[in-house]
Structure 1
Amino acid sequence: MGAWGRLAAELAASGRLARIAVAAVAGSAPREVGAAMLLRPDGGFTGTIGGGAFEWRALAIAGAALAEGRPRVIVQDLVLGPDLGQCCGGRVTVLIEIFDAAALDEARALAVTESRGPFLAVGRRDGDRIRRVAVPDDDRAVGLTGDDLVERFGDSRRPVLVFGAGHVGRALILALAPLPFRVRWVDGRPEAFPGAVPGNATPIAAADPVAEMIAAPPGSLAVILTHDHALDLALVDAGLRRADLPYLGCIGSRSKRARFSSRLLQIGHSSESIRRMVCPIGVAGVDSKAPAVIAASVAVELLIADRVARNTLGAAREVVRAGREECV
């Protein structure tokens, strides 16, 4: 369920609802522009804008407005150091909207739009409400400028192919469940899949897994974890013939990489092309062979690969070298 579907469902159940969104950020902050959460009249909430004193202050402001029982739009600037004692040092603008039952039709209409794919909601403050118009997604900046609010909604998750439904494959599917990926889980053995899988994963019992690699959407990340080394090699071969896959990982040791590299050279791949194969997989420094640990390490590597694919190569290399600045 998308953000507007969730909001519509909560609003239908409670009759009133507060939405708290990060509308602008200057300096270091716990979350990015667009992060949002929902607050119910009973005090329950879903989502997060970063936690800590910052989030609790925003929840308190939203809770007081929600208790008034009428639609409202509140724009609140919070300086994290002086106002809240957080060492981040940044400034965050939060936008709080109080929805009532009269907004339900609009929320449901936006939920339908969201179900069709990514889009921008361009809103303008109109008295006590924000009136939104859905427009096609593009590269415009999101956030609040004057009375204009631009937000991005819809499923823009990176496609990931996971080949293999063994122990590591199952652990990786669970590790990817809460992350911003859309997963095709491929194995030629229908009986290898569990009875239930996370909502962002689709099991594919493929008679020809290599065909799945060939047909993968451009920009996909591919992880090869099958029970068959010959199939692993065939999948790597097919993946290397695609110039539009930002990540091609294959489980295995350095000796497996050496054997595969030799064979790939024999069948026509260049040394430069073979360097695209990530084997062993997972971030450096994690050496456990427990499936859950391998899965966690690979999930981090996929997040980095996704970031690299979304940014210029030089900027992404700086991200990988420096790590991500955290504010808690």
Structure 2
Amino acid sequence: MIDWIPILQTLLGRQVACVLVLLVQAKGSTPRDVGARMIVTQSKSFGSIGGGTLEYRVIEEARRLLKSGSDQKPVRHLRTWHLGADAGQCCGGECTLLLETVPPLNHAWLDQLQHYQDSAPCVMVTSLNASALSAYDGKLIITEYLAGDVIKESLADDQEIIAPLVRTLLASPGKAAYSLQLVYRKPGDTPPAYLLERYGPDMFRLVLFGAGHVGKAIIRVMSGLPCHITWIDGRPDMFPATVPHNVTTIVSDTHDRIIADAQPGTFFLVMTHSHPLDLDLCEHILRRGDFAYLGLIGSKTKRERFTKRLIQKGLGQGVVRRLTCPIGIRDIPDKDPGVIAVAVAAQILQQRNTIAPVTDTAVTLATLVKV
């Protein structure tokens, strides 16, 4: 999924009007899942809803909205596309898309969403009715601590119905950073009254030690995924002049604090220029224990030597078995840095297979009354 918030903030900072495109409902065979998003300007587009004729026509539709829309107020437009009849695509499914103009103004909801999604779950309520939430640009950001007062003040007649659903989303135990729900006023009613989107901290965090050839290739591949990467090396000249927006570089020869400060569930990759440093890093990460993945670049021989040394340092065999070395999915023997990076990215994605998927749940206000 595109990390759209910083892109939108940059465009608005340059006074560029945009259209947000969001796939809110998918039926049958479709090229992307619910939650796929694009940003469209008069000259560029960012992200993808699946490519092909559908995406081309949606971009055209978005640019028509930009030409006809207001410079002061957002315009929201829902449209369902039948991929066979409307786009000539063989998928044969059906996509409902929300196209939303974003004028080049200060949008408080965008800053709030950026702030809260990096620290705790929040729900963004978008009114699909021009009159509701008009004082808030049609959007409301709700957190666990603000839910009661904000909903009571802002949602008027719908507060008693929306509040239970928002609280349920905020309390969702799954690991998914994002989920989406449409809320209808009554069964069979169209269009839906509200769109609720749950955001949370980045789906996963990667700490990468080493900025050599493979490290650089890892960054090129992994930076396109929904994650935040902390990239560490003690040699400042090893980093490129610019890095992707979701990559933070740290020049440091000491790593204890970096490992200690990493969030639980972090993915670690160790590939420095020094085997003694690699061993020290692996020991500290293994002793911490609450990581999702620890990968060490190297051969089976390196793993055997590290296993022996780590056990000598007092680590149990069960703990040491959590070290992945060699890294990357099996049956890809190529040692080219780019190939290694793809194999490692695939392995990390496999490791994350317990993360709950984006959900597409249509909810009616009538059913929520019983909650």
TM-score with structure 1 length normalisation? Answer: 0.80
Match of 2:54 in 1: 54
Q: CA deviation at 1:248?
A: 0.3
Q: CA deviation at 1:244?
A: 1.6
Structure 1 74/311 Cα, relative in aligned 2: closer, same or farther at 3 Å? Answer: closer
Match of 1:94 in 2: 97
Whether the 8 Å contact between 2:233 and 2:250 is mirrored in structure 1 is yes
Structure 1 309/230 Cα, relative in aligned 2: closer, same or farther at 3 Å? Answer: farther
Match of 1:133 in 2: 140
Q: Percent identity?
A: 35
2:252 aligned partner, one-letter code = A
Match of 1:180 in 2: 226
Whether the 8 Å contact between 2:113 and 2:141 is mirrored in structure 1 is no
Q: Which of 155, 173, 181 is the equivalent residue of 1:143?
A: 181
Match of 1:310 in 2: 355
Q: CA deviation at 1:134?
A: 0.5
Q: Distance in 1 between matches of 2:3 and 2:34?
A: 18
2:63 aligned partner, one-letter code = G
Match of 1:315 in 2: none
Match of 1:253 in 2: 299
Whether 1:123 aligns to 2:126 is yes
Q: CA deviation at 1:116?
A: 1.5
Whether the 8 Å contact between 1:20 and 1:95 is mirrored in structure 2 is yes
- Partner SS state of residue 241, structure 1: helix
Where in structure 2 are the equivalents of 1:287-302 lying within 5 Å?
287-302=333-348
Match of 1:229 in 2: 275
Structure 1 99/238 Cα, relative in aligned 2: closer, same or farther at 3 Å? Answer: closer
Whether the 8 Å contact between 1:2 and 1:155 is mirrored in structure 2 is no
Whether the 8 Å contact between 1:21 and 1:35 is mirrored in structure 2 is yes
Structure 1 59/199 Cα, relative in aligned 2: closer, same or farther at 3 Å? Answer: closer
Q: CA deviation at 1:223?
A: 0.3
- Partner SS state of residue 98, structure 1: strand
Match of 1:317 in 2: none
Whether the 8 Å contact between 2:30 and 2:93 is mirrored in structure 1 is yes
Whether 1:207 aligns to 2:253 is yes
TM-score with structure 2 length normalisation? Answer: 0.72
Q: Distance in 1 between matches of 2:256 and 2:198?
A: 34
Where structure 1 has 5 or more consecutive residues not aligned to the other structure, the ranges are 313-328
Match of 1:321 in 2: none
Structure 1 290/7 Cα, relative in aligned 2: closer, same or farther at 3 Å? Answer: closer
Q: CA deviation at 1:160?
A: 1.0
Whether the 8 Å contact between 2:4 and 2:39 is mirrored in structure 1 is no
CA deviations over 1:181-213 (Å, ceiling 9, x no partner): 212222233444344333322222223224422
Structure 1 262/139 Cα, relative in aligned 2: closer, same or farther at 3 Å? Answer: same
Whether the 8 Å contact between 1:184 and 1:203 is mirrored in structure 2 is yes
- Partner SS state of residue 300, structure 1: helix
Whether the 8 Å contact between 2:270 and 2:295 is mirrored in structure 1 is yes
CA deviations over 1:37-85 (Å, ceiling 9, x no partner): 2333x35322221111221232233334444334543211223344434
Match of 1:34 in 2: 35
- Partner SS state of residue 288, structure 2: coil
1:245 aligned partner, one-letter code = F
Where structure 2 has 5 or more consecutive residues not aligned to the other structure, the ranges are 145-169, 173-178, 184-191, 358-371
CA deviations over 1:232-291 (Å, ceiling 9, x no partner): 122222222233211100001011112222233333333332221110011222222222
